[in-house]
Structure 1
């Protein structure tokens, strides 16, 4: 059931309606819709707008002519249906309103159009019905929790598919969670270790890309040595240019050549002391002693003997200038060689801190080679020194020169390699960022590779693939059973189409027209269109065996309503117990037809219990009187008979805005317009102050008063009705009140002779004074006045303020 129209905004005259605020009883309790609902409202109050809201639930479409419309409908299970989800319900709904007529009886708008046909159950043989029964048995029941046949198989397959799909999804979600954590978790996520892995915008999608890389056949994890190198590289900062190294000029060949000259140089043996020539040690000892005594002592400090001049002469001849010069040359050359050793040893000192870490290993190897080369070079120089020292100790004896191993080329090669490394390191500054990125990429891929091993990625993937296969199989099983269900459903529909008979739909409409309205001039006729393909049937309106044209409004109304009622028995609606909404079905009908419409409603809908909920709206008070009689009983789930519950509501318009409210007692229990008009006059007389909630009573007072007098005075003076004379008779000999009432009736109601009145505000005191005069006059017939008060639920009338009236008339 529809419990309430919870809210409506921007739909026709509804601009912010809220059910829980507006539809309340006197005690404040909210009243919902009932089994049968009667809705009264004057023309243009918004009844059709309500029917269009409900019809949107039937068709799934709301007119696009509304700007930003919204509504919410509460169903019996407390679910909500809104304009955003019109099919969010399982109700079968059928609405009769002008849109239904326009869509189904297009000939009313265009005489060349026909009426949409519909089919009801035909009279074909029992064989087809038996076939349908067998197919329906095979198809089974689709009742939730009680499925049978193919529906039971489908339900079981869907359950299995749901479980398989859930298991597959759970496995995927578990892996996805692990991958997401590795990508973006603050503790272990690669994203938050950009200084190591190089991407502060790392995402799970990028991680999946890296997984593809590390799982490729050509991926090989880096070695520990490579990882160490990458770790150092990512910590590198740009270095300053390395100080320029200038290699010294080596003198080895020159020194060797000089050594060879001095070592092999021969000394003349004339005037030499033979003993000293033969004994190099003694020769060295005497030469040293000579140096200590020359020009210092005349006595030998060893033996204390006198050194004679002749002896000095012999010694000077032995130690002549040539040998002395040779010694000096040897000493000088040894000094040069020692300087060369120092120069070469200190020429290059390798500092790894000046180089990028990627060159450190080469530098280490180069340093070892440098030390080895310096050692070899020094050893070659030492061999020169050794030969020179030996010659000096044996100054008088020349010897064969022993050429050392040439170590210069190796040393020069090392220096050249060092220069090349300097250039490479300096040049590497421009490529550092690129290589650091590459190193971080390799470290990241290694991290991803290790993580996959930790979480057993391959095993999880295999499980997911396996579960996906099972899920796919279960979906295919559901699809196969669905196909069988669809096949059987189509077969049943096909069989039922063989039973459907559009002619019977037309006959049903004609029965309503003839039996209830006695309208034997119009009827519907089912005509089969010629053409290829499926059978196509259309309805035509026939008068005197010819297609009818120029139907009156009343005929159109009758035909449309009979068509709607007959259509409730079509294949799509039969046995569904729909929610039925009927909007003002008696437009342009006379009194007899109004009663027949009521009879048709009561007989064909209420008595047959064809509905789950019924709504009927009207603007006609006579029809409202009949609708009060609608009623009946239905069987509940326990088989007990219960009365249909009825609800009474009004749609009231105030200026440009409408609302829904509970029907007042005078309309619900005493349904005549006379009661209503009296109630409006009584309200006008009773109001103490004017506000937004009651100004409409004054605005409508002139029309209400005029109609009240038309009815009242007609029954009191049936030969005259309402005129100036009967108004005077109503008010007595005092002509002033009658003139005042006549002014209100004509000037304010019809603007007769005073057109400018329509452009001026309504004068409230004048209206209320007139209302009080009317009430005071009605009091004179106490029995009628008391009955009128009871019919509107009032207990007493307001007092007449004569002074106010006199002041008002004086002002006029």
Structure 2
């Protein structure tokens, strides 16, 4: 709890130090009762507590400073409001801020929305929310901003939707009117019965990044279409893989043409003339054993000629010739057989392999031609030797195409295997071909409709939508939060009936106001309340009625905290001057409310109550003291000093015990008399004239209650028309109390000796005239008569 407070500068408080004014050993009690006259500084002190409650300096004291010491030496200050204690302050600021509806200039009252946990602050928040929200009709606030943005969004979204829809229409038309009805693009199957826009979209996703990759030239397109026309073919038998033995042929021919033979008796002319020799040899074949004369010249063919020719054309040469002819026949046969080896036809292969067939077949023809050419070279060498049988020949190097022949045969077999395999994969190949043709068709269509540009335009519109939506989303969130907060606040307003009931209960139970009640009304904006008197809207509430309602409102507002066992142990309550034009009954009931709701159940950590009303102060003496802490109650006095500064000090004994202003004034005069041990301070010196006037007016009125005499006459009568005494007293009570016509007097303080003299004159007169009352007055301010007598001696 709070133990001490220092106030360097806050309103009326200047350089106030607790230890100096009250004492180092003194601290605030759990219950603190503070008395002070109006404008002495009570509300200013409560505003320091309100700064802690609001966690900010009061608007009128934004440069103010204070330091509060808590138990355990913890600190609070004008720069540090952090604490676990819960501060709740009732003062004029609370009434003004929370119950501004109490008065209007025309005397009527405003309906209000808040009771209990709500107040005018809640209405202010509701109004702030409404201002922020605004409306479309008023063309302001968040609702209008989002209305404008949503209009813009609708327009942009409409453009986006139209462009997107146009593209959807194009794709749907292509899927339904072209692809779905074109057999080489799509054929229904058990697993895929139709082709839709979702299918074309899926395939667009797979090709859109590189359309050119899926485009086909006419030949490629026709080739794929031909695959779709293929029927299952009979498997082709593999070719026998062999490698021609050209090297063997070469060796055989080389041996023949390089064999050396000679005639038995050579005929020189024939040896030297190869053509003549061949001519003669051919003539022998046409004449020997056939004619006796030469068919060319008619000469007789004598046995001697035949003998001569036989000696030239020997058996060895003829055998060689026969070998050459036989070998040429073998080579010619090899050429023929090679040409007949590959009997494959293009039509035996699937169309997808026709191109490969053409390639391999071309290789075969090339290899076969090369091989045949090499055989022809061998044949040419044999013929040359045959034509000049006695002349040996050296064969040139001839290319061997045997390996090429072998490799091409293997290529044909691979082709055959692929072809045979296609008989089992034909359906898949045709579907692959159809897919390629379909993607080609789609790719070409996307190019034709400028798909990329359409997508870019749609993307651009989409980005516009996102940008606007990015602006709208937090706006919607803020509006939703505000609407939720508005609903919550209005919902709280609807639940305020209990708070209103509490106020009515307090008014009825503690103040007897059964006719003055709060009545709830359902309105479009929520539940609102009016004050009614006997069922009629109450106008021109008296100041006292406003005080009653305000304080009942405060109690209802903190009701939840008072009932919360955890919070009530942290609750520091400051009630500043709840009295305002209340009669004695109302004063007692105000005390009863504090006693019953706060003090008796001790639902607080620390309680401060300040007042200017001495009757109320008298009742406060009866408040239930904190349990278990006999002396944990402090009586304090707030005084405004002559230098227009305020101090807080311990209340004098009489104020704690008797609590009347009359006792207070007597104590002031007694302190100024010579009977007091302490010297007179400037504060007493400054206020002496006013204090003396008020004391004598009160004392002499009860002494002489007749209304037919003036106060000056009462003074003269009481002091037996003692001219000196009456003159001194009148001078004090008139010139130093009423400064309007004696302003110069205010600039010169009374002499201390003069103050003491006048005080003693008054006190001695009372003592001699009414010693019983004088003793009672002394006792009320804590002075014993014997002590006074001793001092007088």
Say which one has the larger Rg.
2
